[in-house]
Chains A and B, each alone.
Chain A
Amino acid sequence: MPMIMNRQASGWLRLRALIRKEAIQIISDPSSILIAFVLPVLLLFLYGYAVSLDSTKIKVGLALEDRSTDVESLIAAFRNSPYFILSVSFSRRELERDLVAGRIRGLVVVPADFSRQRNWQGGRPALQVIADGSEPTTANFVQNYVQGVAELWLQQRAMETGRPAPVPVTVEPQMWFNPSRESKNYIVPGSIAIIITMIGTLLTAMVVAREWERGTMEAMMATPVRIQEIILGKLLPYFGLGLGSMLFCTLAATFIFQAPFRGSFVSLFLFTSLFLFTCLGIGLLVSTLAKSQFVAGQFALVLGFLPAVQLSGFIFEISSMPPIIQGLTYLFPARYFVQGLQSIFLAGDVMSILTLNGAVLAGFSALFFLLNARVTRKRLE
Chain B
Amino acid sequence: MSRQPCPNDVPPLVTVRGLAKRFPKTRRPALDGIDAEVRAGRITGLVGPDGAGKTTLIRVIAGLLTASQGEVEVLGFDPAVAAEKIHDRCGYMPQRFGLYEELSVIQNLSLYADLRGVPGEERAPTFERLLRFTDLQRFTDRKAGALSGGMKQKLGLACALLSRPALLLLDEPSVGVDPISRRELWAMVKELVGEGIGVLWSTAYLDEAELCDEVILLNEGRKLCSGPPEELTKTVESRTFTLAVHDGRRKILARALQQDAVIDGVIQGERIRLVLREGDRFEPASVGAGSGTELRPVNPRFEDAFIDALGGVPKGESAVTQAMQPVFLDEKPAIECEDLTKRFGDFVAADRVTFSVPKGEIFGLLGPNGAGKSTTFKMLCGLLRPSGGQARVAGYDLRRAASQARNRIGYMAQKFSLYGNLTVQQNLEFFAGIYGLAGKRRREAVSRMVEIFGFKDQVNLASGQLPLGFKQRLAMACSLMHEPDVLFLDEPTSGVDPIARREFWTHINALVEKGRTVMVTTHFMDEAEYCDRVALIYRGRVIALASPDELKRSVRSSACADPTMEDAFIALIRRSDQQPAGAAG
CA distance A220 to B62 in the complex (A): 12
Q: Is B65 touching A380 in the complex (CB atoms < 8 A)? A: yes
Partner of B110, one of A5, A17, A25, A378: A17
Indicate whether B562 reaches chain A with its CB closer than 8 angstroms.
Answer: no
- The yes or no answer to B116 lying at the interface (CB within 8 A) is yes
Q: Determine if A216 and B92 form an interchain contact, defined as CB atoms under 8 angstroms apart.
A: no
Q: Is the CB of A25 within 8 A of B66?
A: no
Contact (Cβ within 8 A) A220 B115: yes
State the CA gap A222–B116 with chains docked (Å): 10
Q: Contacts of B99 on A, CB cut-off 8 Å?
A: 216, 219
Residue of chain A at shortest CB distance from B103: A24
Which single member of A3, A215, A226, A379 contacts B119 (CB below 8 Å)? A3
Q: How far is the CA of A218 from the CA of B119 in the complex (A)?
A: 23
| CB < 8 Å neighbour of B98 from A24, A218, A378 | A218
Query: Judging by beta carbons under 8 Å apart, are A13 and B164 in contact?
Result: no
Given contacts A5-B119, A24-B107, A215-B97, are A222 and B114 in contact (CB under 8 A)? no
Question: When chains A and B are docked, how far (Å) is the Cα of A207 from the Cα of B230?
Answer: 47
Provide the residues of chain B in CB contact with A379, threshold 8 Å. Answer: 63-66, 83
A13 touches B103 (CB 8 A): no
Closest chain A residue to B93, Cβ basis: A219
A214 to B59, CA, bound (A): 16
A59 within 8 A of B: no
B64 and A380 contacting across the interface, CB-CB below 8 Å: yes
B115 pairs with A2, CB closer than 8 A:
no
Chain A residues near B117: list those with CB within 8 A.
3, 5, 10, 13-14, 224
**Alpha-carbon separation in the docked complex, A219 to B107 (Å):** 15
State whether the Cβ of B419 lies closer than 8 Å to any Cβ in chain A.
Answer: no
When distances are taken between beta carbons in the complex, the residues of chain A under 8 Å from B278 are none
Which residue of chain A is the closest to B102 with respect to CB atoms? A28
Q: Mark B171-200, 1 if CB is under 8 A from A, else 0.
A: 000000000000000000000000000000
B87 within 8 A of A: yes
Quick one: closest B residue to A28, CB to CB?
B102
Q: Report the Cα distance A223→B103, complex, angstroms.
A: 18
Question: In the assembled complex, which residues on chain A have CB atoms less than 8 Å from the CB atom of B119?
Answer: 3, 5
Q: Chain A residues near B463: list those with CB within 8 A.
A: none
Interface membership of A29, Cβ < 8 A: yes
Chain B residues with CB below 8 A from A18, complex form: 111, 114-115
Q: Is A67 an interface residue (CB 8 A)?
A: no
Q: How far is the CB of B154 from chain A (nearest CB, A)?
A: 15
Instruction: Please tell me if the beta carbons of A215 and B95 are within 8 angstroms of each other in the complex.
Output: yes
Q: Is the CB of A14 within 8 A of B101?
A: no
**A214 is contacted by which of B101, B111, B113, B116 (Cβ under 8 Å)?**
B101
* CB of B565 within 8 Å of the partner chain: no
Q: Does A262 contact B (CB under 8 A)?
A: no
Size category, B interface: 35 or more
The residue that A223 contacts in the complex, of B87, B97, B110, with Cβ under 8 A, is: B87
Query: Which listed residue (B97, B102, B169) contacts A25, Cβ 8 A?
Result: B102
Docked complex Cα distance between A145 and B88 (Å)? 70
Q: Are A222 and B107 touching (Cβ within 8 A)?
A: no
B contact residues around A17 at 8 Å (CB): 110-111, 113-115
CA distance A226 to B84 in the complex (A): 8
* Pairwise interchain contact A21-B87, C-beta atoms closer than 8 A: no
| Neighbouring A residues of B156 by C-beta, 8 Å | 219
Using A215-B97, A216-B98, A379-B65 as known contacts, say yes or no to A223 and B112 having CB atoms under 8 A apart: yes
Are B98 and A215 in touch, CB under 8 angstroms? yes
Bound complex: CA A21 to CA B115 (Å) = 11
Judged by a CB distance under 8 angstroms, whether A232 is at the interface is no
Q: Is A222 within 8 A of B65, CB to CB?
A: no
Complex: A211 Cα to B59 Cα, angstroms: 17
CA distance A28 to B101 in the complex (A): 10
A213's nearest neighbour on chain B, judged by CB, is B96
**In the complex, chain B residues whose CB is within 8 Å of the CB of A13:** 114, 117
CA distance A5 to B114 in the complex (A): 12
Q: Which residues of chain B come closer than 8 Å to A219, judged between CB atoms?
A: 92-94, 97-99, 156, 159
A221 at interface by CB-CB < 8 Å: yes
**CB-CB contacts of A1-38 with B at 8 A, as 1s and 0s?**
11101000010011011101100110011000000000
Chain A residues lying within 8 Å of B95, measured Cβ to Cβ, are 215
Question: Do B92 and A222 touch across chains, with their CB atoms under 8 A apart?
Answer: yes
Residues of B with Cβ closer than 8 Å to A? 1, 59, 62-66, 83-84, 87-90, 92-103, 107, 110-117, 119, 156, 159, 163-164, 169
Supply 24 A–B pairs (Cβ within 8 Å), ascending by A. Answer: A3-B117, A5-B117, A13-B117, A14-B114, A17-B110, A17-B115, A18-B114, A21-B103, A29-B102, A215-B96, A215-B97, A218-B59, A218-B98, A219-B99, A219-B156, A220-B98, A221-B64, A222-B169, A223-B112, A224-B88, A225-B115, A378-B83, A379-B66, A380-B65
Q: Which residues of A does B touch, CB under 8 Å?
A: 1-3, 5, 10, 13-14, 16-18, 20-21, 24-25, 28-29, 214-216, 218-226, 378-381
Q: Beyond A21-B100, A24-B103, A379-B65, list 17 extra A-B contacts (CB 8 Å).
A: A3-B88, A5-B117, A10-B117, A14-B114, A17-B113, A24-B102, A214-B96, A216-B99, A218-B94, A219-B93, A219-B94, A222-B64, A223-B115, A223-B116, A224-B84, A224-B88, A379-B63
